[in-house]
Chain A
Amino acid sequence: MFKPLTILVLLIILSIASFLFALSVGSLPLSYMDILEVLKGGGSDITQTVILELRLPRAYVAFLTGGLLSLAGMLMQVLLRNPLADPYILGVSGGASVGAMLAISAGLVSSLISVSAFIGALISILLVFGLAHGRGSWNPSRLLLTGVVIAAGWGAIINFILSVSPDQSLKGMLFWLMGDLSYVQADHLSDPSMPVILIAGLLFSLMLARSLNILSHGEMQASVLGISLKPIRLSLFLLASVLTATAVTKAGSIGFVGLIVPHMIRLLMSSDHRWLAPASVLAGGSLLLLSDTIARTIIAPQQLPTGVITAFIGVPLFLYLLNRGYRQQELS
């Protein structure tokens, strides 16, 4: 365990470094001086285009998506009190995927694919909420089972659409399902929805952070210590769902980040959600940004789906931290 503040500062430095790395590598390698020049408003036309219209928008969306997913994963894990929970466990991404795939098979442009995905996510959220709430009690296991079954239902619909789709739309669909940032455009930079939702979500999580710490000790104990269960369950569910829906509609269902990043931070620094929430956002953002940079450069000019690389980097990193944690426990 390290001091939380030290880790947080290191994560801020890592985030900035990830951005610099993402802006500098690609088919046209750029030096940090070039990047600085462009950010100050100068530079040649070609470097301006490469940075401001190609690399920066994509890096920006990648970082925000990673932050959204990690925060959503952390909230889902507390809501369901289940370490295996991830942002997609309750079917939000399934609904979004069905929406996106219907839009892709109808041949719609990418902005309409996002709209369609968001509508799919919303339908899924409302469906799970309505069914799990039903009449009366709303406990974590009922919510979890409802969500998992709805997600399975979406899975069946996705497979159905995949099997009846013509070959030319299949690749687009598969990339979307694995998580893909290749269609990000310059106008994403001026779209405030992602940063606003991420920052609002982070602030709201920080406001609830002490309650989340207590909720990890069970709902009964939370109630004893003065937390009203109904409002906090509802806000966690809605908040995590909205964060997930925002990420999924912009970047497809990128797996793994939302599940693993909160656990990595718990192993590294603290389970106190006042540290865990901001650290997860920074670590998730950096992990996804680095993964995406590698995904678009490693076998260039061909691009890989981002979701493939997140797991390639994340799996060994997580296993290392987990083993290190256990070794420390055995020594102490």
Chain B
Amino acid sequence: MSLLSTSNLNIRIGNTPVCHKLNITCEAGEVWGILGRNGKGKTTLLHTLAGLRPSVSGEILIRENNILELSRKKIARQLGVLLQHHEDSFPATVLETVITGRHPHLNNWQWESPSDWECAHQALSTVQLSHLSERPINQLSGGERQRVAIATLITQNPDIMLLDEPNSHLDLKYQIQLLNQLCQQTRAQGKTIIMTLHDINLAARYCDKLILLPGDGETLTGTSKELLNESNLHKLYDHPISRIESDGYPVFITK
């Protein structure tokens, strides 16, 4: 059974088409990437898949259930999103923010159990922020704030993870470590990831499958191996790109 799938999904921003008749099926253990230029609808597609904005037509299925028929809470138990922008209106600590990830798993009156706190501490140590757990969230740097958001998602522990620019603000070390960790876990535990990326090389390294959004409503979907070639990428980014080999891996550089 696929974790997330779409049939004939049709999305627009105003009058601009983002995708037309998109059909994807994300199986357990797969990592998907969404590539495209600025403003071509990567984030919009991701938000639509999460049920955060409506589509024009077509269906989104979470484990064969139509997303429109699921409550936000039921969705949140299976699907988590790493948003691009983080808002902190009132001072909370890092740990208080990370523990919010347990919310969909708790009832109205329930307090977090020791195992919920354990999840949060574990997630903080995964993103290497345990030493800042009592720090007010508005005193963090951009990269630290991004890692707190990732820790919150890990605490939520959904089977479907939608990541919007997971590597933004992150140092190279954390980009690789965190993507390694998330993708390994996804493959080992039969989860799935869909992420928007700007870096073709990270896409080549981590993604099994790709959705390319050239921006005219037509989409290309398929395995990374098939899709990542010079002509597709030239069309996608409107700029010539060449492919070279290094240590047996493909590397893409701008001409």
Contacts and interface: CB of A to CB of B under 8 A. Distances in A.
A282 to B, nearest CB: 19
Contact of B83 (A83, A221, A266, A272): A221
A225 B90 contact: no
A221 B106 contact: no
B86 interface: yes
A270 B90 CA distance: 10
B100 A81 contact: no
A226 interface: yes
Given A217-B88, A228-B72, A223 B108 contact: no
B72 A213 contact: no
Contacts, number: 87
A216 B89 contact: yes
B104 A225 contact: yes
Contacts of B33: none
A227 B139 CA distance: 27
A216 B88 contact: yes
B50 interface: yes
B89 A83 contact: yes
A141 interface: no
Given A271-B96, A272-B96, A226 B76 contact: yes
Given A217-B97, A226-B104, A81 B75 contact: no
A216 B96 CA distance: 12
Contacts of A228: 71-73
B146 to A, nearest CB: 13
B77 interface: yes
Interface string B74-93: 11110011010111111110
A224 B50 CA distance: 8
Interface in A93-141: none
Nearest to B50: A224
Given A83-B89, A217-B86, A271-B91, A226 B108 contact: no
Interface residues of B, number: 34
A329 interface: yes
Nearest to B153: A224
Contact of A329 (B71, B72, B85, B139): B139
Contact of B90 (A224, A226, A271): A271
Contacts of A83: 89-90
A225 B87 contact: no
A213 B87 contact: no
B109 interface: yes
B214 interface: no
A138 to B, nearest CB: 15
B133 to A, nearest CB: 13
Interface residues of A, number: 30
Contacts of A266: 90-91
B168 to A, nearest CB: 16
Contacts of A329: 136, 139
Contact of B52 (A77, A217, A220): A220
Contacts of B12: none
A135 to B, nearest CB: 16
A274 B92 CA distance: 13
Nearest to B135: A332
Given A210-B106, A213-B100, A217-B97, A226 B72 contact: yes
A216 B90 contact: yes
A213 B111 CA distance: 13
B192 interface: no
B211 to A, nearest CB: 21
Contacts of B136: 329
A172 interface: no
A207 B90 CA distance: 20
Contacts of A218: 85-87, 89
Contacts of A182: none
Contacts of A225: 76, 100-101, 103-104, 156
Contact of A77 (B71, B90, B96): B90
B92 A221 contact: no
B244 to A, nearest CB: 39
A271 to B, nearest CB: 5
A224 B81 contact: yes
Contacts of B83: 220-221, 224
Interface string B45-72: 0000010100000000000000000011
B217 to A, nearest CB: 25
Contact of A224 (B80, B92, B97): B80
Interface of A: 77-78, 81-83, 206-208, 210-211, 213-214, 216-218, 220-221, 223-228, 266, 270-272, 274, 329, 332
Given A83-B89, A210-B103, 5 more contacts: A78-B90, A210-B100, A217-B86, A227-B72, A266-B91
13 contacts: A81-B87, A211-B103, A213-B100, A216-B90, A217-B88, A223-B72, A224-B81, A225-B76, A225-B103, A226-B76, A227-B72, A266-B90, A270-B96
Give me the 8 closest cross-chain CB pairs, A-B, nearest first. A226-B76, A218-B87, A226-B104, A226-B73, A81-B89, A224-B81, A216-B90, A225-B103
